[in-house]
Structure 1
Amino acid sequence: MKKLHFFFFVFSLFSSHFIFAQDEATIEKEILELHKPTRIINDSIVKLQKEVYQKIEVEIDSVIKNKLILRLDSLENAKDQNAINELKLDFIFAKKHPNSLASLKLMRRNVGRFTGMNFYDTYVDVFQNFSPEIKNSEEGKEMSEKLKYFNQSKVGSIAPNFSLKDIDTKTISLTDFKGEKYILIDFWASWCAPCREELPYIKELYKKYQPQGLEIISITKDEKSDLWKKAIEKEKIESWKHISILENQSTIDKDYFVNGIPHKVLIDKNGIIIGKWKGGGENNKHDLQQLLKSVFEAE
């Protein structure tokens, strides 16, 4: 009799696992179907981008070339908006499937990217709607931790404090500037092409606003200090402060929820995050410039 009970127990366990796996497979198929329209749009935009890139490479006329570059920007904006539209669909889907790990993975995918940057409250709402089993799973605990770092580094939050050695081994603390300076933190690396492409623009901002109270702290993710230091010298950006995550054995990138570079954070004199930009592009440049203009013109 005991053997029979054990057999039924194992059979029941196997059956429930099989049913769960079947359900998850069904949900994953539904997700693929859900994403089909936005993936078609994304693929068409990428195709257009490649065509414009090819035209830029052979174009000699500077006026036409600039128009093509603007066209690239508009296509990138369209791609971003399409990704945001897909994320909104994902939120609705995840709310309807609170017992699914596939739904949770759907939420985790964009939580640290540009796409999800302005949706903290929605992420929290959807996450709280998951069943206790999903929230307490390993994936659920990871998501909970991500939301913690997301919250402490979003616009409106008090910027996480740090005290780190700079390139000259001088200790730099965020609190040193409180009440006196606006801080632009620029997460970058010598190997990051988009990061280095933006340096002339950042130099212009520094030249214009440093006398009015702007300080820049560049924080590198370089794993080779010699390449980092050579890049600073080559780009002629010694004017502002430089910190290495590696040399400090720091987790500042985690504290500021940095999942990719370039990544910029603007902090006001009260230590509050007032701006955050993930990735490069003309839109981010324009938004940062307009915010700095409003800040220093107001003062």
Structure 2
Amino acid sequence: MKKLHFFFFAFSLFSSHFIIAQNETTIEKEILELHKPTKVVHDSISKLMKEVDLKIETEKDSLKRNQLTLRLDTLWNALDQNGINELKLDFDFARKHPNSPKALHLIRISVGRFVGMNFYDTFVDIFQNFTPEIKNSDEGKEMTEKLKYFKQSKVGSNAPSFSLKDIDNKTISLSDYKGKKYILIDFWASWCAPCREELPYVKELYKKYKQQGLEIISITKDEKSDLWKNAIAKEKIESWKHISILENQSTIDKDYFVNGIPHKVLIDRNGMIIGKWKGSGENNKQNLQQLLKSIFEAE
């Protein structure tokens, strides 16, 4: 009789795992179908971007080159919007599949990306809708941690404090600026081409607003100090503060939920995050510029 009970238990366990695996395979197919329309748009825009990139490389006329660059920015914006549209589809799908590991994975991979930057409340709402088993899984625990860092680094939150040594071995603390200055934190690296392409623009902002209370703190993800220091000298950006994550053995990038660079954070005089920009592009530049203008030219 005991052997019979064991057989039924083992068979039941096997059947349960088989059904779960079967369900997840079905869900995986549903996700592929769900993403078909946005994948078509993504592939189409990506193809156009490659074509424009090639034209920019060979175009010698500066006016036409600028026009092509603007066209490329427009395509980037369209690609970003397509990504946001896909994320909204993923949100709806995850809501309908609260007991699926693949549904959790679907939203977890977007939580730190540009497309998910303005959807903290939605991520929390959907994650809470998952079953306890899913939330307590390894990926569920990882999602819980990500949401913690997302919350503390989003617009409207008090900026995570830090006290780190700069390039001159002087201690830079966020609290030193409270009540005095606006801080633009720029996460970058010498090897990051988009980061360096933005530096002339950042220099212009600093030149324009430093006397009115803007401080810039560049925080590098470089792993080689000589490359970092050489880039600072070459780009002529010694006039503001520079900090190395590696040399400080810091987790500041994790504290500010930085998953890619360039990544900029604007902190007001009260220590609150009032702006956050992931990635590069004209939209981000214009948005940051308009925010600084509204702050300093209104004072």
Q: Is structure 2 residue 242 aligned with structure 1 residue 242? A: yes
Q: Is structure 2 residue 137 aligned with structure 1 residue 137? A: yes
Counterpart-to-counterpart distance in 2, 1:79 and 1:3: 60
The 5-angstrom pairing of residues 50-65 of structure 1 reads 50-65=50-65
Match for residue 269 of structure 1?
269
Match for residue 296 of structure 1?
296
| Amino acid across the alignment from 1:39 | K
Q: Is structure 2 residue 15 aligned with structure 1 residue 15? A: yes
Counterpart-to-counterpart distance in 1, 2:231 and 2:71: 31
Match for residue 283 of structure 2?
283
Match for residue 80 of structure 2?
80
Question: Percent same amino acid at aligned positions?
Answer: 81
Q: Is structure 2 residue 205 aligned with structure 1 residue 205? A: yes
Q: Is structure 2 residue 87 aligned with structure 1 residue 103? A: no
Query: What is the SS of the residue equivalent to 1:266?
Result: strand
Match for residue 164 of structure 2?
164
Counterpart-to-counterpart distance in 1, 2:262 and 2:86: 24
| Amino acid across the alignment from 1:121 | D
Output one character per residue of 1:53-77: Cα deviation in whole Å (capped at 9) or x when no partner. Answer: 1111222222211111111111111
Counterpart-to-counterpart distance in 2, 1:288 and 1:186: 12
| Amino acid across the alignment from 1:114 | F
Q: TM-score, normalised by structure 1?
A: 0.99
Query: What is the SS of the residue equivalent to 1:216?
Result: strand
The total of aligned residue pairs comes to: 299
Query: What is the SS of the residue equivalent to 1:155?
Result: coil
Query: What is the SS of the residue equivalent to 1:292?
Result: helix
| Amino acid across the alignment from 1:70 | L
Q: How far does residue 119 in structure 1 lie from its aligned partner after superposition?
A: 0.4
| Amino acid across the alignment from 1:194 | P
Q: How far does residue 83 in structure 1 lie from its aligned partner after superposition?
A: 0.5
Counterpart-to-counterpart distance in 1, 2:28 and 2:212: 53
**Which runs of no fewer than 5 residues in structure 2 stay unpaired?**
none
Query: What is the SS of the residue equivalent to 2:297?
Result: helix
Q: How far does residue 14 in structure 1 lie from its aligned partner after superposition?
A: 1.0
Query: What is the SS of the residue equivalent to 1:26?
Result: helix
Counterpart-to-counterpart distance in 2, 1:63 and 1:234: 27
Output one character per residue of 1:209-249: Cα deviation in whole Å (capped at 9) or x when no partner. Answer: 10100000000001111111111111111100000000111
Counterpart-to-counterpart distance in 1, 2:241 and 2:74: 34
Counterpart-to-counterpart distance in 2, 1:150 and 1:81: 21
| Amino acid across the alignment from 1:255 | D
| Amino acid across the alignment from 1:20 | I
Counterpart-to-counterpart distance in 1, 2:98 and 2:129: 6
| Amino acid across the alignment from 1:197 | E
Counterpart-to-counterpart distance in 1, 2:298 and 2:273: 18
Q: TM-score, normalised by structure 2?
A: 0.99
Match for residue 115 of structure 2?
115
| Amino acid across the alignment from 1:266 | L
Counterpart-to-counterpart distance in 2, 1:12 and 1:267: 57
Output one character per residue of 1:94-121: Cα deviation in whole Å (capped at 9) or x when no partner. Answer: 0000000000000111110100000001
Counterpart-to-counterpart distance in 2, 1:190 and 1:55: 26
